[in-house]
Structure formats: C-alpha cells, structure tokens
Structure 1
Amino acid sequence: MHVRFLVPGNVRHGSGGNKYNAKLAEHLTALDAEVETVTVDGDWPVGSPADRQRFAEALDGGTTVIADGLVASGAPDEVARAVGDGTRVWILSHMALAEHGDLEAKALAAATGIICPSAHSVAELVAKHGALDAVVATPGTASAGASAGSVPKHIVSVAALLPNKSQTLLVEALSQLQDLEWTASLIGSRDADPAYAAKVRDAVEHHGLQHRVTLTGELTGQELEDQWHEADLSVLLSESESFGMVVTESLAHGVPVIVRRGTGAVEALGDTGAGAALDLSDPHNLTMTLRNWLTDPALQQRWRGAASSARDSLQSWDATAATVLKAIT
C-alpha cells in the first residue's frame, strides 16, 4: 500500500506532533506500507493562496493521503476537491485548532476519515464541532534503560520553551523550595519562541537559581538519554496537551511524572500511580506537591516503583501503526 504523508514545514523544533509523524511513518514502513513523506511549506494552519496551492498539488494523484491537521484543517476546499477527485484523505488531527474553527469543521467533514492521537484530542474536536467518527491511534513508546537517579534529586522538564508549556510556573515553584536539595533541567528548544525563552531565563536569574536550574536547549540522542539516566522526576505543565508523549517516555525510563489536570497528559499517565495530575488553578499546588515529594522518601519510592512497573505495559509504535494501517485500508 502506498501512503503519501503530508507534514507541516513551519514547525522546526522537536514538537510532539513532529515526533509522532516521524515515528508513524517509520513504523508504517516496517509494516510493509510504502510511505512517501512530503513536507509542505507554508504559514499554517491557513497559509497564503500559494501555500494552499502547494498543499493541493501534494494531494493530487495520491490514492491514500494522511495529512497533518496543522496543514489540512485550514484548507477545506483543497481537501474536498481532492476527495472528490478520488484521493482518500485522512486528517491526522493532533489537537483542535485554536482559531479558524469554521475552516476546521469543513475540512474534517470533507475528509475521508480522521485520526487522533488520544481520546482527549477526539473529545476536544467533538466539543468544538459536534459528533464525529475518529480513529484513536495512541502514541507508542520505545523501550529505554531505567534511570539511575541522582543525589540530590534531579527534576527534568522536557518540552520546547513555549508559553503553553508553562516553564515559568515550574521555575516559580522551585524558587520556593531553595531550603531543600535538588537540581533541575529544562530540556527544550530556546528558538521556538525566543521571547518566552528569555522570560524563562530571566526568571531563573531573578530567583538566583542559575546553579540549580539548567536550560539545556533541545537535546536528542545520547545527550537526552544522559538526562533521563539522571532524572528522578519529570514535570509536564502544558496548559493544553493532546497526549504528551514525554509522559510515556518518562515512564519508559522508570521516571514518575507530574502533569496538569484537564489535559491529554492525564490520559498518557493513566492509572499507573506513577506521579500526579494537579489542578494548577492554584499554582501553590505544584509547590506543595514538589515539597512533599522531595521530603517524603516513602512517596518517592511509591512513585518510582509504579513508574518502573509501568515500563512493561507501554504500547509499541508498531501497535500504533497497525491501528492506523487498519483504518486507512
């Protein structure tokens, strides 16, 4: 089976959507699908007329297309035209568009089908657009070595420095815990939003945390594995998150996770008991949870044991790809 996979060219940092797309393409190929990945440049999610023309040309002639929702959801006319001409267009909607809901509704209605990475992302689409039929293909997780941990305890936050990821909230919480021993690394691109990255750096310096909180920039490969090897706790405080693959990546390393309640990261954490989902309408909840964890060895052991147990039950990327392949065939 030949699949043309259309991905956005205007997201250049290591986003969850980019990583999902790359892993899905890799594992569809492993299941004997012939995958042609095409990067579609443009100012998505809507783009200029020239951007949408490039998208239309990429849709043309493919019998089966998976199009990332960041590209497809703002171009309903192009999707409808391609489907009318016989192309089967599946929209991979990582999360509902923050704006342009009218265009998104039309694009989803025109598509052959919809794929989402979580039940949470489906629920967001339904809340905006009403009942729809979508295939849930939960992200897989690669097996990984167990973290050894650190002394003092080492906290990691793996996400691009973006306002949605709320790293300033974590820095503020850590600033109130300077009576305790800990270190932290904020691991993610500083180029995705340079103004926000500067705000995070300024917060670290304002509280005198330069020697305890490291802004590493985006890490991959062995450098990222080295951080996981030292980690005792992972924190993902995104205001919105379709799933949060870093949560299952944390669990794959036996590292417990704190996430924000009301986001897809709660679905990723599941009922493992390997951390906590916090109501952050009161930021003090984060400070107190971190203090409790840092000062309670029994809680540390309980969370760590649950994370270690969860390592054996994480879904593979082959299972994700099989779900998608079954849907589109």
Structure 2
Amino acid sequence: MAASGAGRPAVRLIVPGNVLHNSGGNAYNAELARGLTDLGVDVRICRIDGNWPVGSEEERRRLAVLLLDGGDAGGSTGSATAVPPVTIVDGLVALGAPRALEEAAAAGRPAWILVHMQLAEYPDLEGRALAAAAGAICASSTAASELRARHSPLRHDSAGVSQTPIHVALPGTSAAPAAAGSNPPHFLAVAALLPNKDQLLLLHALAGIRDLPWTASLVGSDAADPAYAEAVRSAITGLGLGDRVSVEGELRGQALDAEWARADLSLLISQAETYGMVVTESLARGIPVVVRDGTGAVEALAAGSPGTAEAADGGGAPALPGAAVVLGTDPAPLERALRRWLSTPELRLRWREAALAARNRLPGWDVTAGTVLDFIAAAG
C-alpha cells in the first residue's frame, strides 16, 4: 500500500463526470476528500466522463485503463504518487462496470467501491462488481443492508469465508447556526427537481392546506431534468400556489444559507433514498424534517437520536425531530401530516426541540474520513 505522510495510505478517488448538479453523492465525495486530506492523506480526485451508470463499451474500457495504469482521466487534482494508491470508485461508475473491476483485481489492483446508491435495476452487474472489489463502503446502513440481502454471499475463499467486506461510513455534517424560522411557517425542500424527489406529490399536498398560512421554497437544480422541472412549474400555477411556492433553482453560499435560515420544516419525500444528507443538514440547523417512510431518509432522521434516553409520548421509541410518513401516489397522508404540524403548536415545539438536541449529536466529516481511512488501512 502506498504511504502518504506519517504512513497514511495515498488515495485515488474516481468520481463520475456526468453528474453536474449538487447531488448528495458529489457532496459526500468532496467532503470525504477534504477530510482525508486533513488527516494527512495524499488524495487525488479523478473525474471520468461517461453515461454512468453502466456507460458505453468505450467508457467502461477507459475506466479499466484508469484502474490499471493509474492515469488521471484528464481531470485529477493533487500530486501523483510513485506507488499506486488505494483506489476508491464512486458506485455510480463502478457498479455498472464489473469487467473493469475484475480486470483490476486480476492484475492485483482491486478497487474499493463507494456506494451512495445501489444499482438495483442491474443486480447481476452490481453483484459482479462487488465480488471483484477490495470492499464496499456504503454511505448508510440502509444501503449496506440492501446489498448484503441482495448479494450475500458475494465471494468466498477456499474455506467458505466471505472475502468482500461491506462497511458503513455515514455522512458527516458541518456545524451551522440554528435557523430562525419565519412567520408564517416556511417549508423548505432541498433537492434537484427530479421525478424520484417527487416534488409534484409535495405540491398536491400543499394545495390541500391552502386554508392555512405558510410559504414554501423548492431549492435544487432545475437543469437535471428540464421536462420534470417544467411540470413542477406548471403544477404550481395550475394548483394556484404561485403566491406561496417559489422555485429557487440550485443555490450555494449565502443564498442557500438564507433559505436555511428562514425554514421551519424541511421536506424530503423521495421515492427512493439511500440516506438523504439534506436531512442531517436540516438537523444541523435545528430544523425538523418530514421524510418518506421506508427509505434511507428515516435512518438520517434518527442520526441525532439519543437512543432510548428520550421517550416519545406514551413511552417506547425516542422522540424524533420530525416524522416518517407512509406515502404512495396519494398526497393525502402528507397533507394530513403537514396540516397537523401547522395546527398543533405543541407538536411544532416538540419537533423543534428534538431537532435542536439532535444537532449537538451529529458526527462531523472528520469522523467519516477517519472511518474510511480505518477500513482501507486495515485491509492493507
């Protein structure tokens, strides 16, 4: 294994070049690289273009060359190392290109896979890629459990012992000031305008509570799926929400901070979500969150939970800083949850207090980076 400052392994992080909006995976990758660098690791970021996941035959071939020869695909930053570094490949690239990983493993250069989201629609490709990997690092326990259930056992030695470890390195959070909120209450949905994020369902739920005072902002890329973004804008007009709901596009810096500051309730109702970093970003600001039950966002909602120290009404599970709502295609359950929150001051206070308590328990990105470093160092 390559050494990097005080015996640290050098790391090459291969990430997709075709995800241009501010996704959770992109944010995780950037924070991981920064955290590893702070720990004294020489990190090179290599961006590889392609129609990932799966990509074309030529794109997969370029990945194979990159894995084998240590090239930078024309997009790396940082200095090269004399000894091949440990390679970590974003799952969006790796899980659909098993042959490239198999060739790297056969050459004695097995790569790690950083799994932000599974490739469930191609289980055979996913299983082969995982079997060829040095190991998988999942961004949530939800993702790890699903991979183990779908592919266990992945690979065994002659004694029948599994040889492909699946680890978990939860996303960290950055410290942020507590949100001041607004009057009337302000809903915030931070997510790219994409069908999976289900902003259309959210808008129909909001249309059902127009008799109550509130405002809402949709913050996220409107360029990732222009047709869906246009459908969202049309729904806002058609539902008569033009004076209540704004589409802000992708925001950064002070503009995004201003949206966080005026939020009272965060909403992430994705149809599928491995974790949902926006949930912990909300909690870091003392903002409670409503998520879709059955997704990884439920795990994120409990990230700052004290365990059993704080019991919910009636005892049992600890009070959560928000709620997980069972949702399909009917907006009525979400409408009921939002109406109850708006109409019940005691509930709003309880969720807010739980969110403020959670923000003090959330791990930082230094913990994430240290966890990943421990995994790859132990395997060396």
TM range (shorter): over 0.9
1:208 aligns with 2:240: yes
Match of 2:11 among 3, 11, 27: 3
Q: Which moved more, 1:265-274 or 1:169-178?
A: 265-274
Distance (whole Å) between structure 2 residues aligned to residue 120 and residue 156 of structure 1: 25
User: 1:129 offset after TM fit, Å?
Assistant: 1.9
Distance (whole Å) between structure 1 residues aligned to residue 292 and residue 51 of structure 2: 30
SS in 2 for 1:313: coil
AA at the equivalent of 2:16: P
AA at the equivalent of 1:229: A
Match of 2:216 among 184, 188, 199: 184
1:299 is matched with which residue?
347
Match of 1:25 among 24, 33, 39: 33
| CA deviation vs aligned residue, 1:278-324 (integer Å, no higher than 9, x gap) | 10135311101100111111111111111001110001100000010
**Superposition pairs for residues 193-272 of structure 1, below 5 Å?**
193-270=225-302, 271=305
User: 1:115 offset after TM fit, Å?
Assistant: 0.5
1:12 aligns with 2:20: yes
Distance (whole Å) between structure 2 residues aligned to residue 93 and residue 131 of structure 1: 18
SS in 1 for 2:188: strand
Q: Which moved more, 1:50-59 or 1:255-264?
A: 50-59
| CA deviation vs aligned residue, 1:241-260 (integer Å, no higher than 9, x gap) | 11000000000000000000
AA at the equivalent of 1:223: A
Q: Is the 8 A contact 2:101 2:110 kept in 1?
A: no
Q: Which runs of 5+ in 2 are unaligned?
A: 1-8, 71-83, 155-164, 306-318
2:98 is matched with which residue?
76
Distance (whole Å) between structure 1 residues aligned to residue 194 and residue 151 of structure 2: 27
User: 1:74 offset after TM fit, Å?
Assistant: 1.3
Distance (whole Å) between structure 1 residues aligned to residue 121 and residue 201 of structure 2: 25
Distance (whole Å) between structure 1 residues aligned to residue 115 and residue 283 of structure 2: 25
AA at the equivalent of 2:321: A
SS in 1 for 2:46: strand
AA at the equivalent of 1:44: W
2:66 is matched with which residue?
58
User: 1:86 offset after TM fit, Å?
Assistant: 2.1
Q: Is the 8 A contact 1:141 1:314 kept in 2?
A: yes
AA at the equivalent of 2:221: S
User: 1:53 offset after TM fit, Å?
Assistant: 1.9
1:290 is matched with which residue?
338
User: 1:130 offset after TM fit, Å?
Assistant: 2.6
AA at the equivalent of 1:126: R
User: 1:273 offset after TM fit, Å?
Assistant: 1.3
Which protein shows a greater Rg? 2
**Superposition pairs for residues 128-139 of structure 1, below 5 Å?**
128-131=150-153, 133-139=165-171
2:54 is matched with which residue?
46
Q: Which moved more, 1:203-212 or 1:280-289?
A: 280-289
Match of 2:181 among 144, 149, 159: 149
Distance (whole Å) between structure 1 residues aligned to residue 108 and residue 39 of structure 2: 25
SS in 2 for 1:234: strand
Q: Report 1 or 2 for greater relative contact order, CA contacts < 8 Å, sequence distance ≥ 6.
A: 1
Q: Is the 8 A contact 2:275 2:300 kept in 1?
A: yes
User: 1:222 offset after TM fit, Å?
Assistant: 0.8
Match of 1:123 among 145, 155, 176: 145
SS in 1 for 2:359: helix
AA at the equivalent of 1:225: D
Q: Which runs of 5+ in 1 are unaligned?
A: none
How many pairs were matched up?
329
Q: Which moved more, 1:268-277 or 1:305-314?
A: 268-277
1:325 aligns with 2:363: no
Distance (whole Å) between structure 2 residues aligned to residue 45 and residue 301 of structure 1: 43
Q: Which moved more, 1:45-54 or 1:101-110?
A: 45-54
AA at the equivalent of 1:47: G
User: 1:230 offset after TM fit, Å?
Assistant: 0.2
| CA deviation vs aligned residue, 1:8-44 (integer Å, no higher than 9, x gap) | 0111111111111111111011111110000010111
Match of 1:273 among 309, 320, 331: 320
Structure in which a larger fraction of residues adopt helix: 1
User: 1:78 offset after TM fit, Å?
Assistant: 1.0
RMSD: 1.1
Q: Is the 8 A contact 2:202 2:331 kept in 1?
A: no
Distance (whole Å) between structure 2 residues aligned to residue 207 and residue 260 of structure 1: 23
SS in 1 for 2:324: strand
| CA deviation vs aligned residue, 1:159-204 (integer Å, no higher than 9, x gap) | 0000000101110001011111000000000001111111111110
Q: Is the 8 A contact 1:38 1:58 kept in 2?
A: no
AA at the equivalent of 2:223: D
Distance (whole Å) between structure 1 residues aligned to residue 33 and residue 111 of structure 2: 16
Q: Is the 8 A contact 2:176 2:284 kept in 1?
A: yes
| CA deviation vs aligned residue, 1:92-113 (integer Å, no higher than 9, x gap) | 1112114221111101001111
Distance (whole Å) between structure 2 residues aligned to residue 100 and residue 214 of structure 1: 37
1:107 is matched with which residue?
129
AA at the equivalent of 2:366: D
2:361 is matched with which residue?
313
